[in-house]
């Protein structure tokens, strides 16, 4: 009846990645969000971030966001980093981003 090792470790610094790009109408829309903990050990580290995008919850909202060019997006990057409250947010997997860290 001990504390799990992962719960005992401090979270440490994170990098939040937000990728944007044009849609078919030329509007700048979110293409994906991801977060990764920054390694603290010296050396070269490669991290692959799974990216995700928030989705509308109903067909009407999907049509409205497509028609207006305003898709759902997070206004606060802490939502991506913490994950707290994200379990009630509908998201879709949207590829990967590879990040290379060179820690001294």
pLDDT of 90 reads: 76
pLDDT of 47 reads: 95
- Show contacts of 90-94: CB within 8 Å, 24+ apart: 90/54, 90/55, 90/56, 90/57, 91/52, 91/53, 91/54, 91/55, 92/52, 92/53, 92/55, 93/50, 93/51, 93/52, 94/31, 94/32, 94/51, 94/52, 94/53
pLDDT tens, per residue, the chain with 104 residues: 555 545 545 568 899 998 988 888 787 888 889 999 999 999 999 999 999 888 877 788 777 777 766 777 777 777 787 766 556 677 888 899 999 999 99
Give the Cα separation of 78 and 98 in Å (integer): 21
pLDDT of 101 reads: 94
Reported pTM: 0.71
């Amino acid at each position: 009846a001990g504390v799990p090792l992962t719960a005992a470790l401090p979270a440490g610094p994170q990098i939040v990645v937000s990728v944007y790009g044009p849609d078919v109408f030329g509007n700048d829309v979110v293409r994906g969000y991801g977060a990764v903990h920054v390694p603290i050990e010296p050396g070269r580290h490669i991290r692959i971030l799974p990216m995700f995008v928030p989705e509308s919850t109903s067909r009407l909202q999907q049509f409205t966001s497509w028609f207006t060019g305003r898709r759902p997006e997070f206004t606060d990057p802490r939502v991506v980093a913490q994950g707290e409250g994200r379990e009630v947010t509908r998201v879709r997997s949207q590829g990967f981003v590879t990040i290379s860290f060179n820690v001294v």
